[in-house]
Chain A
């Protein structure tokens, strides 16, 4: 095995081109476990913790560019206003020790259906920026996940950053598990209200082969909210319930050690109703304050 430790993004891309089988390593949450348990013996490890560009975030044209290695702790502390869904999800990742090192790049690279950062990226309609010696590429988040632990990244590419619009309305993330810390979600759901465009964003975790959106639920809710954004009243129960049903219908869960498919579908409809109630209440109080 080789241990490669680039100190710039261009050097990292060069090394990835020379060693396409090298496994990128950053916070170690997934990769180190595979090494510790002898599940994986890659030809090379490509350590990204000495690449400063990956630890930077910036704001441009109403969007955020978040470097792939920006730890969850920094997202929680610095981006709670501009990327609230992602920040709320970040608080549920692992433990303080994990959050100090783990990052969105790792969740995207592992492409587990349970990655906590992934539903909010779907709900926010994010984009993944990849980098290689031949240049950068932007992949819409809705096209990034191809299967369980399988993404659209090419062997010569590295995940450089994720881009999300600065939030124009309330966002939420909720997950089901046995305790707050150190839980792999039984299922999870993220909701983003986009009052600027009148659109709704959703993201379902741990209830399909990949993280996925619930497009029918989004369209239904967008239509229901179309005349309600500016003078928001309480939402009728049947709207909230129907939204939950459509979210559950978009899932494709399986039975496993963490829960049954039926339970996941039911829990998702509950999470969808809750997050809608929370975000709509927040939107109403913002409108009243104006």
Chain B
């Protein structure tokens, strides 16, 4: 037996068929809906590379059963920019050198995007706490912190 799951992803209503009942939201996004931006690494909620917004909150897509996302609003890294223009946090990741191998980047972008929506002027401690569930094995995090600070400054000056 399989199920059909319909959800709104990055503003579009999408339907996945033949979904196995134990399948994760991450698998459905990547393998059935053509959205491979969210990365599949640990599959146990440890690394944060599959972070997406579900109902406006950051979650690990690998820990959400696809059926639990029925009718929900999902935003992935593909939905942060508008297709042409990158989101501010994406620009500052590029400018700050916050990307090395890039595997953790989609999850970090979604988490940082969410942080700046909730707290436009976060302290360093707040940034560290917010990003604590996203592992990066390349950068040592300093450039990532720079990127978040720069995005906060840029967004507040343009607001």
Separation in Å of the B86 CB from the closest CB of chain A? 23
**Contact B130 A96, beta carbon cutoff 8 Å:** yes
**Contact B65 A45, beta carbon cutoff 8 Å:** yes
**Contact B70 A97, beta carbon cutoff 8 Å:** no
> Which residues on A sit within 8 Å (CB–CB) of B3?
3
Chain A to chain B contacts (Cβ below 8 Å), 14 pairs: A1-B1, A2-B1, A3-B67, A32-B45, A32-B64, A45-B22, A49-B68, A95-B132, A95-B133, A96-B58, A97-B60, A100-B57, A181-B132, A182-B132
Q: How large is the interface on B (under 10, 10 to 19, 20 to 34, 35 or more residues)?
A: 20 to 34
**Contact A97 B48, beta carbon cutoff 8 Å:** yes
A78 at the interface (CB under 8 A from B): no
- Give me 11 other A-B pairs in contact (C-beta within 8 A), A36-B43, A97-B48 excluded: A1-B21, A3-B67, A28-B64, A29-B45, A36-B62, A37-B43, A41-B22, A73-B57, A97-B111, A101-B63, A182-B132
**Contact B60 A98, beta carbon cutoff 8 Å:** yes
> Which residues on B sit within 8 Å (CB–CB) of A116?
none
Which 10 residue pairs across A and B have the least CB separation, nearest first? Answer: A95-B133, A181-B132, A28-B63, A3-B21, A36-B43, A1-B21, A35-B22, A3-B67, A33-B44, A100-B57
**Contact A32 B62, beta carbon cutoff 8 Å:** yes
Instruction: Kindly identify, within residues 24 to 58 of chain A, every residue whose CB is under 8 Å from any CB belonging to chain B.
Output: 25, 27-29, 32-33, 35-37, 41, 44-45, 47, 49
A5 at the interface (CB under 8 A from B): yes
Q: Which residue of A lies closest to B19 (CB)?
A: A3
> Which residues on B sit within 8 Å (CB–CB) of A73?
57
Q: A35 CA to B45 CA in the complex, in Å?
A: 13
Q: Which residue of A lies closest to B69 (CB)?
A: A49
Q: A49 CA to B44 CA in the complex, in Å?
A: 19
**Contact B51 A97, beta carbon cutoff 8 Å:** yes
Q: A44 CA to B67 CA in the complex, in Å?
A: 12
> Which residues on A sit within 8 Å (CB–CB) of B43?
33, 36-37
Q: A49 CA to B62 CA in the complex, in Å?
A: 16
A195 at the interface (CB under 8 A from B): no
B104 at the interface (CB under 8 A from A): no
Q: A49 CA to B63 CA in the complex, in Å?
A: 13
Q: A1 CA to B19 CA in the complex, in Å?
A: 11
Q: Which residue of A lies closest to B57 (CB)?
A: A100
Q: A182 CA to B47 CA in the complex, in Å?
A: 9
Q: A35 CA to B57 CA in the complex, in Å?
A: 23
> Which residues on B sit within 8 Å (CB–CB) of A49?
68
B152 at the interface (CB under 8 A from A): no
Asked, given contacts A1-B21, A33-B45, whether A97 binds B67 with beta carbons under 8 Å apart, the answer is no
> Which residues on B sit within 8 Å (CB–CB) of A3?
3, 21, 65, 67
